[in-house]
Amino acid sequence: MFDFSEVQMQGVVIHKVGNKSREEGFIVSPSLYELTDGNVEELLLKYFLSPFKQKVLYKLHHETNIHLNEIYMYASSVFIHPETFYDQSINILKHLYESSGHPQIKGGEFYVAYFSDCIVNDLRVDGIGVFKTENKENYLKVTHHYDEFSVEADDGINIRKLDKGCIIFNTESVDGFRLAIVDNVNKGASEAVYWKDEFLRITDVLDEHYQTRSHLDLCRDFAENIYGPVLNADKKDQVVFMNEAIAYFDKNREFRLDEFVETVIKQPEMADQFIEHKQMYEANQGIQTREVFDISTQAVKTAKRKFKNLIKLDTEIEIKLKATGVEQGEAGFIERGYDEKKGMHYYKVYFNEEE
């Protein structure tokens, strides 16, 4: 968990980076940007920090040795010797350029900032921010001179839309530091993974957020691939199962595997299938889970937003089951059957009055 409510920006440098495959090169700023205008500094802080809404922490890593991770070494140098901040910003710029080889990667302004008073897991630490602007927006500027108005067109940066960003916090240095990340451009596209996989090289921190998210993903995978196809559960039952799983995480502060199985899985044969699937899922996904851990409320909130409670039919009809209704047993008001004459499945819904 991190908090930026007391953050101060101690310095910032602005470079420009292009696409390496197109040989666009990069432009190095001759010095730090002078923070002489309080309004500009405030806008920069808003631009840099406000997009970090997901309070998820990651860490830098390398397959063989963390000291071979370039960003880890540059950040370490700055935290140990803050006077090298400008020189290390150039090294970070060059490393980003070397990582920008995909032909679809856009060039843009590249900012490196030094922050103080970041609150991370109740500790007050410094942080290094790296941010990239890839997209500009058109805007109109209207000026008034005496009795005349003039309108000019230009392009600029929308401070509410940071394209890419990362803040490395000076904590847990032996374990790759802790960092937060933003990547709002081409999510999932092949050219987008360069920011976190090639430039930063980050991995998950095995904390309560990771454990909670991994177990909820496991439940979703079980519902879709085992509970439905193998145990012949219809879509309604799968939705009910996921609602009950999320409700367990939402109501409890601590996860206990045996308690979860008894509360949510219930049926002995289904419980055996869940435990077996859990072991296979973890092996295939390369994840490490615990049988007992503290539950992350942030991870549960994210899961609740993503889960739609929908039964989608091929006749372009959708049935939505409210989570509160499922918890109260109202899923019993919908039944699934098969019509021999039409040769189609159907859902029957019971109710007292239309609302």
For residues 284-311, one letter each, b for 16 or more C-beta atoms within 10 angstroms of the residue's C-beta and e for the rest, the string is eeebebeeebebbeebbebbbeebebeb
Put simply, whether the predicted model's pTM sits higher than 0.85 gets the answer no
From the CA atom positions of the chain, what is the Rg in Å?
26
CA 315 to chain centre: 34
DSSP structure string for 205-254:
--SHHHHHHHHHHHHHHHIIIIITTTTT--HHHHHHHHHHHHHHHHH-SE
Q: What is the pLDDT of residue 325?
A: 47
- Angstrom distance (rounded) from CA 241 to CA 239: 5
Question: What kind and span of H or E run contains 281?
Answer: helix 268-285
| pLDDT tens track, the chain, 355 positions | 799 999 999 999 999 999 999 999 999 999 999 988 889 999 999 999 999 988 889 999 999 999 999 999 999 999 999 999 999 999 999 999 999 998 889 999 999 999 999 999 899 999 999 999 988 888 888 888 887 888 888 888 887 888 899 999 999 999 999 999 998 765 555 556 889 999 999 999 989 999 999 999 999 999 989 988 877 778 888 888 898 999 999 999 999 999 999 999 888 888 999 999 999 999 998 888 899 999 999 899 888 888 777 778 888 888 777 655 455 455 667 777 888 888 888 888 887 877 7
Q: What is the pLDDT of residue 201?
A: 96
Q: What is the pLDDT of residue 280?
A: 92
Q: What is the pLDDT of residue 149?
A: 86
3-state SS, residue 78: helix
